[in-house]
Structure 1
Amino acid sequence: MLNFTIGLIYSSLISFAAYKKSSLNISGFLAAIALGTAIYFFGGLWFFNIMIAFFVSSSLLTKFKGINKKYLDKLNEKDGRRDYIQVFVNGGIGLVLALLYYIYNNPIFLLAYAVSFGVATSDTWASEVGVLSKDKPLSILTLKPIEKGMSGGISTLGTTFAFLGSAFISLIFFISYIVLYNDIKQGLTYSSLCLILGFIGSIIDSILGASIQAQYYCEEIECFTEKKVYKNKPNRLVKGFSVINNDVVNFVSNLMATLMVFLLC
């Protein structure tokens, strides 16, 4: 019961601060409290710290040079305030893994949990910083220039921060593993795997974004977009499948990278 109470207090305070800073809308605020409380209850402090490392760093980068990202409003399906779907897309797999760790007390679930948030952090850092690149991104499949902010694009800046985001989570994981298990050698092995799979997850995300994610063309503003509708008028689907949006791509890429932990270990 103590872990539940501590998790509820911490999650409420951090989520409220994020809501006031417009990093979460009201549904995202409530979902973040529920997710954070459950993760703290099942996994304890270090599971919670990994989640918070992702959430706080990603929220700060979303706000970083926000004035230079205003043009993304016409391209992206959602704005910078995360809703409940985005909260659970990024943290739902981690919640399941925290539950499995609670039941079996096996460090493999801690590793998989860290990889899940490594993928989310890698992808978010790449997206939020990559759009600030002076050069146009290239499609990861065709290597042809595409519009900044569209899914499936890669740039040197974005790829660098994808790697750094995964490295950041792998470092937090390494510290967590040493505190919990006092095994430096195994911790280094697992944290290296966390770094690699977190980065791979962001690459998978880009590939799925460039291939099967829905992209539309808006006649009114004469540009490609991820929005189905603009000013109550449907946009024309030009690529991918209408049922696959950015949330689906994020979830699938996260799941694929996380499952690799169990295949490799």
Structure 2
Amino acid sequence: CLYAIGYCCKTNYSGLSLPIDNKHESSIYTIGFIFTTACCCGDTLASELGSVLARNNPRLLTNPFRVVPVGTNGAISFVGCLCSLLGGFIIGLSYIIGNSIFCQPDHMINTSMINIQLLFYCTLFGLVGSSIDSILGATLQFSGYDREHNVTVQKPGPSIERISGVNILS
């Protein structure tokens, strides 16, 4: 959100792309906004699609040998990691396509090597953002299992078996 506000201030709400191939201060806002969005999209796709598409139960990121139920904070799966990469890739590709369609030629990124690097880093940040969220989830968010109802829960209780985390960010 802060990157979006900074972007608007730097471009005077003109809708112009900020050139990231030059050494402009405003380029930091563009890169920050794109990478932050890639992290968020990667995490969202991993959480939503990874839990549905994965055939095996996920493993806890802080203890990869421990298999945990679907829905556990901090749990990852191979399919979820692929979805994270896909989320970052989608954001990078969307930026490159949008930049080529909607921006004035003197304001757009026209170097294919920069586009390839941007796409690579967006894809990578999709996974990095999802991994950071999983570490925080495994340590600072409570996950428990309610055996009576056979569901994963986010709040501790008398009949809840703790899986991971503490109840700080829950």
- TM-score under structure 2 normalisation? 0.73
Conserved in 2, the CA contact under 8 Å of 1:115 and 1:195? Answer: no
Q: Which runs of 5+ in 1 are unaligned?
A: 1-94, 246-265
Find the aligned partners of 2:118 and 2:68 in 1 and give their Cα distance: 36
Amino acid at match of 1:242: N
* CA distances 1:139-184 after superposition (whole Å, capped 9, x unpaired): 1121111001212111121111111111111111222344532432
Conserved in 2, the CA contact under 8 Å of 1:97 and 1:113? Answer: yes
* CA distances 1:117-145 after superposition (whole Å, capped 9, x unpaired): 21111111111122222211111121111
The structure with the greater share of residues assigned to helix is: 1
Q: Provide the residue aligned with 1:137 in structure 2.
A: 58
Please say which structure displays the higher CA radius of gyration: 2
Identity of aligned residues (%): 25
Q: Which runs of 5+ in 2 are unaligned?
A: 12-25
Q: How many residues align?
A: 147
Of 199, 214, 222, the residue aligned with 2:142 is: 214
> What's the secondary structure of 1:131's corresponding residue?
helix
- TM-score under structure 1 normalisation? 0.49
Paired residues for 1:26-175 under 5 Å: 95-105=1-11, 106-132=26-52, 133-143=54-64, 144-175=66-97
Find the aligned partners of 1:146 and 1:124 in 2 and give their Cα distance: 19
The structure with the greater share of residues assigned to strand is: 2
Amino acid at match of 1:156: F
Find the aligned partners of 2:48 and 2:4 in 1 and give their Cα distance: 27
Amino acid at match of 1:101: Y
Q: Which 4+ residue blocks in structure 1 deviate beyond 6 angstroms?
A: none
Q: Provide the residue aligned with 1:63 in structure 2.
A: none
Distance 1:183 1:174, change over 3 A: same
Find the aligned partners of 2:56 and 2:145 in 1 and give their Cα distance: 22
Q: Note the aligned Cα RMSD (angstroms).
A: 2.5
- Higher RCO (C-alpha under 8 Å, 6+ residues apart): 2
Distance 1:148 1:99, change over 3 A: same
